[in-house]
Amino acid sequence: MSASDHPHVAVLVGASVAPFRDGIAAALTTRWQLVWIPDDVAQSSAVLANAEAAVTNFYGAHWPLAPKLRLLHVPGAGYDGIALDAVPTGVRVCNVFEHEPGVSEWTLLAMLEWCHRLGDADRALRRGDWLRSSRFGGPPDGELAGKTLVIVGLGRIGRAVARRAAAFDMRVLAVNRSADKSDPNVERVVGLDRLHDTLAIADFVVLGCALTPETRGLIDDRALAAMKPTAVLVNPARGPVVDEGALYRALSDRRIAGAAIDTWWDYPANRDEAASRAPSLAYPFHTLDNVILSAHIAGWTTGTLARRPVEIAKNLDRLARGEPLVNVVH
């Protein structure tokens, strides 16, 4: 392409995509103009009229016309914010991974924190309380070693969790849509028909599946009832894989021991709301003492932020060159 040609135009939509801009720009080998626009895309109809690509977590029928659009690239793995039935013919939807290290680290951190309660330990010692020490008769903490981990959904996240959990001498089992997968760190992979049987032997259950019609509400009253009262559910996947009311009841009635929740059923609509809104609008999870809560941070690491823009830039380059795109989901 000669310097006199117009560059291709890509829009980067919303606060969550803004941090990718410099990384994408640095990695591109074809000429693109990158334009950041706010989440309220209606304000940006002029730039959208010229955009060939959009890096965005959201897309819907409310978007202004974008006749040149050929690529909607989500900046993460989940594309449940893209209304696929509203995507015009000829527009590809791509996703990007690279968050497996961060998400699997968050997952192991949550399980380790559940066992060893380091946050409590720090607060206690800062106020002068040594009584958790064995020297003064303190009760022992739990341990991951020897515990059974059941991973639901043996994708990239699931495999990354399995590898780390195996190094802690956990026994790792997986439940997956197709039971014919295998993994060197997983003792056995079973199909979804064996979900409840397998949950019944878990000390920890980690959700690693995408949100699809098949997985929505997969962890319901019956699945939670199958778990041991000492078991802990860890969800870095997507909130609605779990039936929200069923989980709240199981936790508040202590029918399972606890949960670590990073992904939610609904999110604040904007930054103002995000400054002061309960994690759930429907159930007071934030009042429970047997949960570890975080605001969808698991995959949001410096490593993810370094790796993802490079992968997105490669797809923009492929688009500019007319080459086949990678990680096409629609």
The reply on whether position 304 binds a second copy by CB under 8 A is yes
Decide: 203 and 228 in contact? Cβ < 8 Å. Answer: yes
Which residues inside 88-107 make contact with a second copy, applying CB under 8 A?
A: 101-102, 105-106
135-174 burial, b if ≥16 CB within 10 A, otherwise e? eeeeeeeeebeebbbbbbbbbbbbbbbbbbbbebebbbbb
The reply on whether position 274 binds a second copy by CB under 8 A is yes
Task: Say which DSSP state 226 is in.
Answer: H
CB of 25 to a second copy, least distance (A): 18
Which residues inside 5-24 make contact with a second copy, applying CB under 8 A?
A: 14-16, 18-19
Pick from 297, 321, 326, 330: which binds a second copy (CB under 8 A)? 297
The reply on whether position 312 binds a second copy by CB under 8 A is no
The reply on whether position 118 binds a second copy by CB under 8 A is yes
* Listed ranges 83-91, 234-242, 248-256, 271-279: which one lies at the site for a second copy (CB under 8 A): 271-279
| CA atoms of 283 and 74, how far apart (whole Å) | 30
The reply on whether position 246 binds a second copy by CB under 8 A is no
CB of 42 to a second copy, least distance (A): 19
The reply on whether position 305 binds a second copy by CB under 8 A is yes
Decide: 208 and 157 in contact? Cβ < 8 Å. Answer: yes
* Listed ranges 60-68, 188-196, 246-254, 269-277: which one lies at the site for a second copy (CB under 8 A): 269-277
Residue with tokens 């941070």: 297
User: Which of 175, 107, 142 is CA-nearest to residue 257?
Assistant: 142
Which residues inside 40-59 make contact with a second copy, applying CB under 8 A?
A: 57
The reply on whether position 254 binds a second copy by CB under 8 A is no
CB of 48 to a second copy, least distance (A): 21
The reply on whether position 283 binds a second copy by CB under 8 A is no
Pick from 113, 183, 220, 317: which binds a second copy (CB under 8 A)? 113
Which residues inside 174-233 make contact with a second copy, applying CB under 8 A?
A: none
The reply on whether position 310 binds a second copy by CB under 8 A is no
End-to-end CA distance of the chain: 28
Q: Which is nearer to a second copy, 61 or 136 (CB)?
A: 136
Q: Which is nearer to a second copy, 161 or 246 (CB)?
A: 161
The reply on whether position 146 binds a second copy by CB under 8 A is yes
The reply on whether position 112 binds a second copy by CB under 8 A is yes
User: Which of 153, 168, 146, 155 is CA-nearest to residue 198?
Assistant: 153
User: Which of 292, 288, 230 is CA-nearest to residue 259?
Assistant: 292
68-103 burial, b if ≥16 CB within 10 A, otherwise e? ebbbbbbbbbbbeebeeeebeeebbbbbbbbbbebb
Torsion angle, alpha carbons of 304, 93, 50, 64, to 10: -110
